[in-house]
């Protein structure tokens, strides 16, 4: 724990941690030592972790990367982080993220961007770590923590993992409790780990997941021993390659990475099958209706009364307006406006309802291939490697949204998806492969991604 605290102090330039909790960390580590000494050790005893600042932590400032939560100190612990402490893990601090997890580069954080520990050879230009779990990915890649919690609404675990050469899994919707995690889009949000290896991710997820009566969408299913699935291999599995993911303008090196991934799985005994997921092209536009719609509703609670920032005004409505104007950043305001618009009377049927119908079609695409015997689907995790800070999306937000083209389908269908390092691009930066599984079959993803890693 002390070694990690020292590494964090030496790497503050990355801006990965928003809050460091050294006293708490050392107290937790001592408690771990005491339990081990008395023969009472738990599964994650003494493992130093970072927590994305979207998870409420009792008595420790939780901001969701937003000024509107400035100074908010939760009186409760999120279910996921509580499960990790129950199992003996140690909290090092809270990790930076895009504001309310809205973004793909960590540049929308009210507390400044996270800098990736990666550089292009021969260049000092700072790169994004991806987002929204940019702090989690950078901290794991830079060895500031052993692993980190993260969340994924449209790709926020898998895309930053791909950009930083780490492993990230978004489990099936309902695998982890959402209780005590700041909500972005409740029907899409899932917690999961970012870790250095597939095995670490499996160990982390086993602790993070599990039934919780406080979240009615949390599945009442036992959590398998994911670590035991590693080493199982892929012999006899059918892996689908969806032709619709071969999008126009995809760089050659992404295509090559994808073929290489399929070749590795084939060499390990899997059967590779071309499949079709015909509604893929509608996933991104539909996601950018459903997610803002839910966000606009979830963010209505930040009114200057209940949490964090308040800017006084002439009357209560003026106070609401001033607090929200000062507290939310540009991207969050854009989402609130889009979300409010698509939910408004007169536009609801044209946008929100249609997006929900598309969501059903996307889900059915996957159900069809799984019914045909496909065990998992292999795709690239992202359409490119990491880009420079300030390079994308400043003029046109859609340029940034296109990062999520391979990841949003998985959230729309509620399926598990893992990103695993697949190699380096021509410029020496990490590229990730994605495996998508059947509902609640994270085990196959761990087994198959371990063949690739």
Which of the residues are catalytic?
52, 132, 156
Which CB, 230 or 362, lies closer to ligand GLN?
362
Instruction: Tell me phi and psi for residue 407, to 5 degrees.
Output: -105, -30
Question: What does the block give as tokens for 7?
Answer: 């590494």
Which residue's CB comes closest to ligand GLN? 156
CB of 423 to ligand GLN, least distance (A): 23
Alpha-carbon gap, residue 352 to 364, rounded angstroms? 19
Taking residue 273's Cβ as centre, other Cβ atoms within 10 Å add up to: 16
Residue 161 or 451: the one with the smaller Cβ distance to ligand GLN is 161
- 209 closest CA partner among 173, 258, 257, 240: 173
> 364: burial class by Cβ within 10 Å (0-12, 13-18, 19+)?
middle
Q: Are 104 and 130 in contact (CB under 8 A)?
A: yes
- Residue nearer to ligand GLN on the CB measure, 43 or 383: 383
Length of the chain in residues, anyone? 453
CA separation for the pair 208, 94 (Å, rounded): 16
Least CB distance to ligand GLN at residue 372 (A): 29
Closer to ligand GLN by Cβ: residue 46 or 432: 432
> Shortest approach of ligand GLN to residue 232 CB, angstroms?
29
Contact 231, 210 (CB under 8 A): no
User: For residues 237 and 405, which CB has a smaller minimum distance to ligand GLN in the complex?
Assistant: 405
Give me the least distance between CB of 135 and ligand GLN, in Å please: 13
Min dist CB 224 to ligand GLN, Å, is: 25
For ligand GLN, the closer of residues 4 and 392 by Cβ is 392
Where does 350-418 have alpha helices with state H? 354-371, 397-401, 408-413
Binding site for ligand GLN (CB under 6 A): 101-104, 132, 152-156, 184, 291, 404
CA dihedral of 171, 175, 178, 184, whole degrees rounded to 10 = 30
CA distance 239 to 236: 10
Which residues share a beta bridge with 420?
Answer: 433
According to DSSP, the residues that pair with 273 across neighbouring strands are: 240
> Least distance to ligand GLN from the beta carbon of 404, Å?
5
- Cβ closer to ligand GLN: 241 or 402? 402
Q: How far is the CB of 5 from ligand GLN (least distance, A)?
A: 28
User: Which C-beta is closer to ligand GLN: that of 138 or that of 447?
Assistant: 138
Residue 125, classified by CB atoms within 10 Å of its CB into exposed (0-12), middle (13-18) or buried (19+), is: exposed
Please, are residues 381 and 123 in contact by the beta-carbon 8 Å criterion? no
CA distance 291 to 204: 27
| CA separation, residue 273 to residues 252, 300, 377 (Å) | 21, 46, 9
DSSP class of residue 352? I
Q: What 3-state DSSP class applies to 117?
A: coil
Q: How far is the CB of 104 from ligand GLN (least distance, A)?
A: 4
Minimum CB distance to ligand GLN smaller for 311 or for 343: 343
- The 3-state DSSP class for residue 315 equals coil
Residue 14's contacts (CB-CB under 8 Å, 6 or more residues apart) are 114, 115, 116, 117, 138, 139, 142, 144
Nearest to 50 by CA among 96, 86, 87, 104: 96
Q: Which of 126, 116, 180, 111 is nearest to 151 (CA)?
A: 180
How far apart are CB 148 and ligand GLN at their closest, in Å? 15
């Amino acid at each position: 724990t002390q070694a990690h605290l020292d590494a964090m102090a030496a790497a503050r330039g990355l801006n990965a941690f928003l809050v460091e909790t050294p006293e708490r960390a050392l107290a937790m580590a001592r408690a771990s030592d005491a339990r081990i000494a008395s023969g009472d050790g738990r599964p994650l005893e003494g493992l130093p972790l970072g927590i994305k600042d979207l998870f409420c932590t009792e008595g420790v400032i939780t901001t969701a990367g937003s000024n509107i939560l400035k100074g908010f100190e939760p009186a409760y612990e999120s279910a996921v982080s509580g499960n990790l402490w129950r199992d003996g893990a140690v909290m090092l601090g809270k990790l930076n993220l895009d504001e309310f997890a809205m973004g793909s580069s960590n540049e929308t954080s009210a507390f400044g961007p996270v800098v990736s520990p990666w550089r292009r050879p021969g260049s000092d230009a700072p790169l994004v770590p991806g987002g929204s779990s940019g702090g989690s990915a950078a901290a794991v890649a830079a060895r500031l923590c052993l692993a980190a919690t993260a969340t994924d609404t449209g790709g926020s675990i898998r895309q930053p993992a791909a950009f930083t050469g780490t492993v990230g899994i978004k489990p099936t919707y309902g695998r982890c409790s959402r209780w005590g995690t700041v909500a972005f889009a409740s029907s899409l949000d899932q917690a999961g780990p970012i870790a250095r290896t597939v095995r670490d991710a499996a160990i982390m997820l086993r602790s993070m997941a599990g039934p919780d009566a406080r979240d009615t969408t949390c599945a009442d299913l036992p959590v398998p021993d994911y670590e035991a699935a590693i080493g199982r291999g892929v012999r006899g599995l059918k892996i689908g390659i969806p032709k619709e993911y071969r999008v126009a303008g995809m760089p050659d090196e992404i295509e090559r990475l994808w073929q290489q991934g399929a070749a590795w799985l084939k060499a390990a005994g899997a059967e590779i099958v071309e499949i079709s997921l015909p509604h893929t092209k509608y996933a991104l536009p539909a996601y950018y209706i459903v997610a803002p719609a839910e966000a606009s509703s979830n963010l209505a609670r930040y009114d200057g009364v209940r949490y964090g920032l308040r800017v006084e005004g002439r009357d209560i409505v003026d106070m609401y307006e001033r607090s929200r104007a000062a507290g939310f950043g540009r991207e969050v305001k854009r989402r609130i406006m889009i979300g409010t618009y698509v939910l408004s009377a007169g536009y609801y049927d044209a946008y929100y309802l249609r997006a929900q119908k598309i969501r059903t079609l996307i889900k059915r695409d996957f159900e069809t291939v799984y019914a045909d015997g496909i065990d998992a689907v292999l795709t690239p995790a992202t359409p490119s490697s990491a880009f420079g800070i300030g390079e994308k999306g400043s003029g046109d937000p859609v340029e940034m949204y296109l990062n999520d083209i391979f990841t949003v389908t998985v959230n729309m269908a509620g399926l598990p998806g893992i990103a695993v390092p697949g190699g380096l691009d021509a410029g020496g930066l990490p590229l990730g492969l994605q495996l998508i599984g059947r509902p609640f079959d994270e085990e196959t993803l761990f087994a198959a991604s371990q063949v690739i890693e």
